[in-house]
Structure 1
């Protein structure tokens, strides 16, 4: 259960990103906001990892550590690339289709993609709990997406951006799960992702005007996105992933659309149709089913929820 709580807490923090951008100053773009978020957050993650590694060496200098062969290095690089690509794609989707709809499409596609990837890698069918919970949550996502757009049709470019963000997050979760299975410490996994993404995101800073950073609202937005939604959120997510399959963790991150939709309604005054409200309820039921399944005894199959 603690693993589930950690991932859900991360999802709540993730769910504040679209609203934070919407409340930010004028002149922001998906590339500049994503770049600033990663440069700040990725650097903080790398620093956190270095500090944690130093403490581990001080406490247990003779502890065995996994070898940095081509496979783990490649997987760590892949997580950095996925996190970097995720940023502009996610913010593109929310900027074109609204926070609620953009977040729902991005996170709604992620569990299914993660489940397919893990199914291919492990050559096993997912557990009954995961299939039931994900099916229920997906229905909720569809209802929320259909009802969340009001009378305005979804922008196709925004939809593609959101789906691309969902795919990036799914690949990131699967790669991190493999690294944890190979014995890598969660802080090492998340720190390498953060440090690599910070370097890769530097070109984003030159993709638009950064004068908004000179405004108080811009500074607050950058610090919140860079610190709360990257080092804190991804440390929680990766720690929770240690006791869950990537598919289960991706399904639990559907708590992000719940948060984003709630903030969109309460803070941004976005309108949701009754059908979308029903979608929120169904989505919440799917997450509750998956969380309840985490109390079951540990299942050796890769899709079983462990907690």
Structure 2
């Protein structure tokens, strides 16, 4: 039960990302908010995750169990370079994800932007894995992909309801959300490859946090951070960093260690659900009838994807974009 609650809590925290940014002070930009979020959150995540990874190694040594893969255990320059590159790639993609995700929520609203990004992400991850491994996906995955595609298309045409009752989705925002989903697809596949090779999950997620933090600190001097000096700006930065990155990823990674793929996939649906509820109730976003239909169709596709993940050959979900 504790693992279920951990993943569910992480999904809820991830789901507050768009609303937190929307409630922040004026004068922010998607790039600045994303850089601050990862500079704070990535650093905290690296500290917490690497500490837990070290604890796992020590416990394995004491009990005589098989220790997780580490750089010290690898021999040869090539064997060390490849996993290092994959871990850095996850950090780069997490950095790229931030402004794209915030562009989507800024232009199309939190409910629409978040659902498009999160609904498209597992589909893109499955397509990328299919291209990389040449492994034919299941029939359930194909049907889920078709449903999710239709749902995203309906959201694209529907968008947020205007005063006249007609909706419409901003193209730049739509591309931003889809770009964020593509970034997650790369993260999920890179992390899956590392886990298959025996790497400790906390080492993998900690490396993602560390590399993303380093890149973000390099970006900070080139963005306007005046909003960070305000109480609202500081609160937003700390929440996005500590709560939605450091705490959420640690909870999610620990929770996955005790859950099946099907259970984890279902629980992660709490992220778009949280974002949609907050967008409608807190931000007073109004959705057109077409957009609501798109949400229903997309939810059906994601639910089918979660159900289909019970198959042993389906990829186990590991990372959330949030």
TM-score with structure 1 setting the length: 0.85
Question: What secondary structure is seen at the aligned counterpart in 2 of 1:201?
Answer: helix
Q: Is the 8 A contact 2:57 2:67 kept in 1?
A: no
The question of 1:147 aligning with 2:158 is answered yes
Question: What does 1:1-307 align with in structure 2 at a 5 Å threshold?
Answer: 9-61=9-61, 64-68=67-71, 69-150=80-161, 151=166, 153-239=168-254, 255-293=270-308, 296=310, 299=312, 301-303=313-315
* Pair 1:305–1:30, CA change in 2 (3 A): closer
| Per-residue deviation, 1:99 | 1.7
Q: Is the 8 A contact 2:49 2:206 kept in 1?
A: yes
| Per-residue deviation, 1:33 | 0.7
> Distance in 1 between the 2:50 and 2:129 partners?
30
| Per-residue deviation, 1:90 | 1.1
| Per-residue deviation, 1:249 | 7.5
Question: What secondary structure is seen at the aligned counterpart in 2 of 1:27?
Answer: coil
> Distance in 2 between the 1:235 and 1:139 partners?
33
Question: What secondary structure is seen at the aligned counterpart in 2 of 1:88?
Answer: helix
| Per-residue deviation, 1:30 | 0.8
Q: Is the 8 A contact 1:86 1:164 kept in 2?
A: yes
Structure 1 portions without partners, runs of 5+: none
Q: Is the 8 A contact 1:130 1:304 kept in 2?
A: no
Please give the per-residue CA displacement for 1:199-243, whole angstroms capped at 9, x wherever unaligned.
Answer: 101133223322222222222211211012112322344456667
Which deviates more from structure 2 when the two are superposed, residues 182-191 or residues 253-262? 253-262
> Distance in 1 between the 2:39 and 2:129 partners?
30
Q: Is the 8 A contact 2:156 2:174 kept in 1?
A: no
Question: What secondary structure is seen at the aligned counterpart in 2 of 1:135?
Answer: helix
| Per-residue deviation, 1:134 | 3.6
> Distance in 2 between the 1:290 and 1:4 partners?
19
Question: What secondary structure is seen at the aligned counterpart in 2 of 1:60?
Answer: helix
Which deviates more from structure 2 when the two are superposed, residues 164-173 or residues 11-20? 11-20
Which deviates more from structure 2 when the two are superposed, residues 278-287 or residues 97-106? 278-287
* Pair 1:171–1:217, CA change in 2 (3 A): same
Q: Is the 8 A contact 1:111 1:250 kept in 2?
A: no
Structure 2 portions without partners, runs of 5+: 72-79
> Distance in 2 between the 1:305 and 1:87 partners?
20
> Distance in 2 between the 1:109 and 1:176 partners?
18
CA RMSD of the aligned region, Å? 3.1
TM-score with structure 2 setting the length: 0.81
Aligned length: 302
Q: Is the 8 A contact 2:91 2:208 kept in 1?
A: yes
